[in-house]
Structure 1
Amino acid sequence: MGETAVQMEPPECPVCLQPYEFAGSLVPRVLPCGHSVCESCLLLLPRHPATPSAVRCPACNYLVRLPDFGPSALPKNIDLLGFCSTDSRSVGRSQKPNPIYKPNPTPFLRLPWTEGLYGKWKDLLLPEESLSLVSFEDGSGASTAFFSSSHEKNRMVNLLPLDALTSCGTSSSWIRPSYVARFMDSLHRMGEERRNRLRLLLDASSRQRRGISRVYGFWMGPPEERNCLFMVCERFDRVVFDILNEERKMDKMFTLAMMGLDMCEAVIGLHSESIVCGCLFPDCFVLDEYGHCILDICKLLVSGRRIRFGGASSDSALCMSPEVYISLLSCSIASDCRFDNCLSFETDVWSLACIMAMILLGDSMVGTELFQGFGSFSAVGGKGNWSELLLDYYEVWKEKLASKIESLLLETELESLFLPLKSCLSYRPQNRPQVKDIWCCIRSFLTKTQVAPFISLEALEIKGNSVSCAIIGDPCFLLHEVNTVNVETKFYGNSVDNSNLVSLGSGTDALESSNQEKVDGSLTEMLDIDGLKSFSLDGHLDCVTALAVGGGYLYSASFDKTVKVWSLQDFSLAQTLKGHEHKIMAMVVVDEALKLCITGDSGSGISVWHIGSSASHELLKNWYEHNDWRYSGIHSLAVSGTSYLYSGGGDKSVKAWSLQDYSLSCVMTGHKSTVSSLALSDGVLYSGSWDGTIRLWSLSDHSLLSELEDTTTFSPCPVLSLSIDQNLVISSYENGFIKVWKNDMFVASMQLQEGAIFGLHADSSWIYAGGWDMIVTILETFEDDLQVEVRPVASAKFDSVVTCLLHHCGKVFVGVSNKIQVLYSRSV
């Protein structure tokens, strides 16, 4: 049965059973007894004969007194209004949101990745500051750093570069992608198949209780040094051969048994996740702080680099199974030897047995004679029967090695291990036992009995025969240093997922072809930071303080006491509006039937211009809010359609002016400092102040509705700017923070810059913020029923303080000093 979403019914009046509304006759009024009733029902309740001003509460039957001015003088139940539908805010109202914040369908940036991709990988991205003292030079193929988290401090880790392609936006000096954006772009370029194989390996590392090293997550290198994606892995300094080289007596048999048990469990752990290594190397097994043998994921992946460099001629060939080695030598030889379907779980069994033989014999070169002989056959050049010659030569080598192992194990407690080890070295993969058979043999030796009954052998079973990930053939782990490998062999087969085995020893041509196809095929699906351009509009003589769009024009106000009008078609200067005697500090444009441009200055002067059909603008009205020298003038303006103009200033109040006759209609008081910003949405006026508060006022009666609460900070910080995007309210502060409210409930806070943020604009799930740090930060917002996420995407650097911001039709207009910088994408 499908699940149905449970929706909370809006609160309703206990008398008329009608849902409460934010304004009008259905506003919930709180009686002195604490119960709430809608305003219309309070007017209809019967009055007490002895006290006409009193009524009985319909909920508790207490006699309560009504104010002399009627029920409308009772306080509103703000808590009940918080549960009302946001649609009810605009019931019965003709006001419309401020046209400056009208949603625009054209984004400034287009993100190629989906929200599902981000949600799947975001928790694996480590904080940029979690790594310190990063060293990008290491002969092992991996870099090193110190990792710190809430659980660990300054732990040394390995950094493994995952992709040969660098991430986006490294050539531009003035705009840079954010840390998160570079991570997501790198994952996006990786492709779905390679991401799935990488995730499979990470899941195997996290699910195994022991035996496999830990992968902490991912980290993006600095753009100026190594701009690529790194996998952060646990680092171990001691390998298994170190303990054998120590100059002290030890029980070699017991040491082999303990290490062999741990090795088998590690390989079984990978096989249980359908991961085949393809080739295991001695230094892939390390010792942790407790002396346990661990399979090092980082060293395992770096080992693949050795094969890509040297192929069958490298020293890494000493642990390759014969089917892998022969396939690297020649595709035709592998076909003659029937090694087409060579990669399987039994491939790792051979490498594991070879490593155990090295430990037992104390000789790391046990495979030298074998593969030197194989190489000499290859040099002959196609003479003779390859299959029989190689098989005969291999059997001779195998018997020599088996006799050495048998002489050591004979008449010892590990004698029963000889036959399984010999079977593991079989030429044909299908003749080799499973890893669990070796594990059971060693376990029996350590416990001096048969495998304990509490051991679940089902846990050691391999689920299915399909190989989902082959590490040494996975191009996801190609390193930057990969150059040339003269190998033509590719693996294909029924038991192996061919898409996971691009090439076991893929050369430069194959790599470049794969990368070129990936780049050329998705140019329109990448985060094109380098495609962003900019130009400037010059004309002001002092700081630009406000920007607005209306009637096909861009308006810019300045401390030079003028307003510049720019054409949005060719960005030419159409007109300069003059009339202020003081610095202009705020501006708003009415783009309704009656088009107006309204400005306010530091001397409390307000000017209203009529916007004509041409470039002409007529000054309609000019007046002063007050003449008190103690206050710093007009700091913010907002309009409600063609009904009211709202001004906020240094007198700590918000004033409502009629746009019909420009008379003062109402004064809203309550703030304790300058009202720095105003914004409107759905019948509500939001006012931000230097006192650190944001108040909500009803546009119908100009009464106080509530105050936005934020319990994350104890000391208030001045609010510098407000912006509204649908049901989100975003505010910026003097300390470089922005805060986000959804449906008037606090949901997020983030410090974007060190200095104050003066300019802020939210539009169509994007936020643009800039200020004292001379940087504009571009952020993306994502919201669902449970949370709101704010994610930095990019930042642009300017040569002066950013004073104001505006996004319109895919362009970002930035007020910088005495000019306007226009940012746009070449695709817009």
Structure 2
Amino acid sequence: MDLTKVEVGILNLRLNAGIDFVQVLPEELNLLIFAYLDDIRTLLACSAVSAPWHDIANSQRLWRRKFRDEPNYNCKPTGDKIIDWKELYKTRFVLERRWMHGIVEPSHLVGHEDSVYCVQFDDIKIVTGSRDQTIRVWSTTDHSQIQVLRKANQHEIGHDGSILCLQYDEKLMVSGSSDSTCILWRLPGFIPFRQLTHHSGAVLDVAIYDRIVATCSKDGFVCVLDRDQEFETKFWLPACRGPVNAIDLKHNVLVSAGNDGLVKIWNTKSGKLIKTLIGHKRSLACVQISDDLKFVVSGGNDDSIRIWDAKRGTCLRVLQEHQSLVRSLQLSGNKLISASYDKSIKIWSMETFRLMLDFSKFHGSWIFAAKTDGKRIVSTSFGINPVILDFSQGLNQECLAYLCD
């Protein structure tokens, strides 16, 4: 609903006559007028003018509109639960302000005995994999160690090498190791039920999307597995003459990044190569495709990040702020998170492709992975203690649960 010229004229007449428009205009118009106030402090100050102004300024309908009208609106389904829209708006406002200005204090996960290569997390748990041949599960809330997954004896299913990669969903976790195997774990209990020996070299990355599992290896292949067919192999994709260092999987599209500096886009239904993205000058270390399949991002040993138009296969932008190998990339909402051997984590805007934040003081060695859920960043490195940057510290946890990244 927008104000017509007649309504604007009537409003001006009442204001010039010294009449409190809030008391004479319909509620819908009052809500519309207050919704035009972009400065949150001004809107809050309106509640102190009078009782009628207080009622409008604190209306749940107003705050719901404010929340939904802002760009990048994202809210998880709430079912029948009643939401405090004002508190939700406030929570998101403070969270975004902390992201914008880098307002965060680090904390650490203490327990690993060697370098930590990989991480994934959610609102409940953080899962890390290490050179110490263990996978550790931590509490997101108090950072305590919940489980240590390791091979107890030679008869058990377990890794005999470094844990190089892992990914999980609600029911399954897949881990890959320098021992050239993958282990399938049944969640939520993290029960190992099968060990795959399909690769002939170290397993460097894994990906899960819906009913498809994909793995890539130092042997130069990507293996696509069918979850509905007892993890039978659907396709072997000859992705690189050298190691395939990273993959990502969304819908029926898989992207791979290899030692040859090429990004390749594959169709997981047909196993066919769709496009090859040429531009990087040296080997690649990381790759990701956006949820809407519009963008591919890649990084590697030429110290650069490339942002590609996935449909056209053209390079949209080259980001060159890192001073060493770009080891990790993640797209999250309108942000891109990158991490490098230069010991820094950088936050980029995917709208302007400009650098927003540069964290270079939290790690003292090469960074292997940096992941985010929109509320926090968890990063791992050559050091033994993963770092948590929690931008949501102290905010309303119920409201945070509704916010998407």
Residue of structure 1 aligned with 2:226, choices 651, 655, 658: 658
Residue of structure 1 aligned with 2:132, choices 539, 542, 560: 560
2:391 aligned with 1:818, yes or no?
Answer: no
Q: What are the Cα deviations for residues 671-700 of structure 1, in whole angstroms up to 9, with x where unaligned?
A: 222111111224211111111011111121
Counterpart Cα distance in 2 of 1:731 and 1:525? 26
Query: Which residue in 2 is equivalent to 1:622?
Result: 195
1:30-109 mapped onto 2 (5 Å cutoff): none
Counterpart Cα distance in 2 of 1:619 and 1:531? 40
**Residues 755, 771 of structure 1: 8 Å contact kept:** yes
Counterpart Cα distance in 2 of 1:607 and 1:525? 38
Counterpart Cα distance in 1 of 2:376 and 2:295? 21
Counterpart Cα distance in 2 of 1:695 and 1:802? 25
Query: Which residue in 2 is equivalent to 1:608?
Result: 184
The list of structure 1 runs, each at least 4 consecutive aligned residues, that deviate by more than 6 angstroms after superposition, is 522-528
Counterpart Cα distance in 2 of 1:525 and 1:649? 38
Counterpart Cα distance in 2 of 1:523 and 1:770? 25
Residue of structure 2 aligned with 1:746, choices 310, 315, 320: 315
2:249 aligned with 1:680, yes or no?
Answer: yes
Counterpart Cα distance in 1 of 2:300 and 2:115? 20
Query: Which residue in 2 is equivalent to 1:771?
Result: 340
**Residues 159, 179 of structure 2: 8 Å contact kept:** no
Counterpart Cα distance in 2 of 1:735 and 1:575? 38
2:371 aligned with 1:799, yes or no?
Answer: no
Alpha-carbon distance change, 572 to 523 in structure 1, aligned in 2, over 3 angstroms: closer
2:215 aligned with 1:647, yes or no?
Answer: yes
Alpha-carbon RMSD: 2.4
Runs of at least 5 residues in structure 2 that lack an aligned partner in the other structure: 1-37, 40-92, 151-157, 396-405
Counterpart Cα distance in 2 of 1:523 and 1:665? 47
Q: Aligned with 2:109: secondary structure?
A: strand
> How far 1:657 moved relative to its partner?
2.1
Residue of structure 2 aligned with 1:597, choices 173, 184, 198: 173
> How far 1:662 moved relative to its partner?
2.7
> How far 1:526 moved relative to its partner?
6.3
**Residues 550, 589 of structure 1: 8 Å contact kept:** no
Q: What are the Cα deviations for residues 99-152 of structure 1, in whole angstroms up to 9, with x where unaligned?
A: xxxxxxxxxxxxx99xxxxxxxxxxxxxxxxxxxxxxxxxxxxxxxxxxxxxxx
Q: Give the residue type in structure 2 aligned to 1:742.
A: D
Counterpart Cα distance in 2 of 1:680 and 1:523? 33
Query: Which residue in 2 is equivalent to 1:756?
Result: 325
The structure with more radius of gyration: 1
Counterpart Cα distance in 2 of 1:524 and 1:534? 16
Alpha-carbon distance change, 809 to 767 in structure 1, aligned in 2, over 3 angstroms: closer
**Residues 753, 773 of structure 1: 8 Å contact kept:** yes
Alpha-carbon distance change, 688 to 538 in structure 1, aligned in 2, over 3 angstroms: same
**Residues 184, 192 of structure 2: 8 Å contact kept:** yes
Counterpart Cα distance in 1 of 2:216 and 2:222? 5
Q: Give the residue type in structure 2 aligned to 1:756.
A: L
Query: Which residue in 1 is equivalent to 2:287?
Result: 722
**Residues 551, 611 of structure 1: 8 Å contact kept:** no
Q: Aligned with 1:654: secondary structure?
A: strand
**Residues 549, 589 of structure 1: 8 Å contact kept:** no
> How far 1:551 moved relative to its partner?
8.1
Q: What are the Cα deviations for residues 687-726 of structure 1, in whole angstroms up to 9, with x where unaligned?
A: 111110111111212111121243xx6xx31110012333
1:445-464 mapped onto 2 (5 Å cutoff): none
**Residues 239, 258 of structure 2: 8 Å contact kept:** no
> How far 1:530 moved relative to its partner?
6.2
Q: What are the Cα deviations for residues 30-86 of structure 1, in whole angstroms up to 9, with x where unaligned?
A: xxxxxxxxxxxxxxxxxxxxxxxxxxxxxxxxxxxxxxxxxxxxxxxxxxxxxxxxx
Q: Aligned with 2:169: secondary structure?
A: strand
Is the strand fraction higher in 1 or 2? 2
Counterpart Cα distance in 2 of 1:670 and 1:801? 27
Q: What are the Cα deviations for residues 459-484 of structure 1, in whole angstroms up to 9, with x where unaligned?
A: xxxxxxxxxxxxxxxxxxxxxxxxxx
Counterpart Cα distance in 2 of 1:669 and 1:525? 42
Q: Give the residue type in structure 2 aligned to 1:658.
A: D
**Residues 609, 620 of structure 1: 8 Å contact kept:** yes
Alpha-carbon distance change, 606 to 526 in structure 1, aligned in 2, over 3 angstroms: closer
Q: Give the residue type in structure 1 aligned to 2:162.
A: K
> How far 1:640 moved relative to its partner?
2.7
> How far 1:670 moved relative to its partner?
4.2
> How far 1:656 moved relative to its partner?
1.5
> How far 1:588 moved relative to its partner?
1.1
Counterpart Cα distance in 1 of 2:95 and 2:172? 40
Q: Aligned with 2:353: secondary structure?
A: strand
State TM-score, norm by structure 1.
0.33
Is the helix fraction higher in 1 or 2? 1
Alpha-carbon distance change, 604 to 743 in structure 1, aligned in 2, over 3 angstroms: same
**Residues 209, 251 of structure 2: 8 Å contact kept:** no
Q: Give the residue type in structure 2 aligned to 1:762.
A: L
Alpha-carbon distance change, 655 to 799 in structure 1, aligned in 2, over 3 angstroms: same
1:138-157 mapped onto 2 (5 Å cutoff): none
Counterpart Cα distance in 2 of 1:662 and 1:772? 35
**Residues 759, 805 of structure 1: 8 Å contact kept:** yes
Counterpart Cα distance in 2 of 1:574 and 1:721? 29
**Residues 131, 162 of structure 2: 8 Å contact kept:** yes
**Residues 550, 590 of structure 1: 8 Å contact kept:** no
Q: Aligned with 1:532: secondary structure?
A: coil
Runs of at least 5 residues in structure 1 that lack an aligned partner in the other structure: 1-111, 114-521, 783-788
Query: Which residue in 1 is equivalent to 2:101?
Result: 529
Residue of structure 1 aligned with 2:236, choices 662, 667, 670: 667
1:260-659 mapped onto 2 (5 Å cutoff): 529=101, 531-549=103-121, 552-578=124-150, 579-591=158-170, 595-612=171-188, 616-626=189-199, 628=200, 631=201, 633-641=202-210, 643-659=211-227
Q: What are the Cα deviations for residues 774-823 of structure 1, in whole angstroms up to 9, with x where unaligned?
A: 111111110xxxxxx31111111221211111001410001132111001
Q: What are the Cα deviations for residues 431-487 of structure 1, in whole angstroms up to 9, with x where unaligned?
A: xxxxxxxxxxxxxxxxxxxxxxxxxxxxxxxxxxxxxxxxxxxxxxxxxxxxxxxxx
Q: Give the residue type in structure 2 aligned to 1:603.
A: D
Query: Which residue in 2 is equivalent to 1:391?
Result: none
Identity of aligned residues (%): 18
> How far 1:523 moved relative to its partner?
9.8
Q: Give the residue type in structure 2 aligned to 1:572.
A: S
Q: Give the residue type in structure 1 aligned to 2:386.
A: I
Alpha-carbon distance change, 818 to 700 in structure 1, aligned in 2, over 3 angstroms: same
Query: Which residue in 2 is equivalent to 1:377?
Result: none
Aligned residues: 288
Counterpart Cα distance in 1 of 2:296 and 2:168? 20
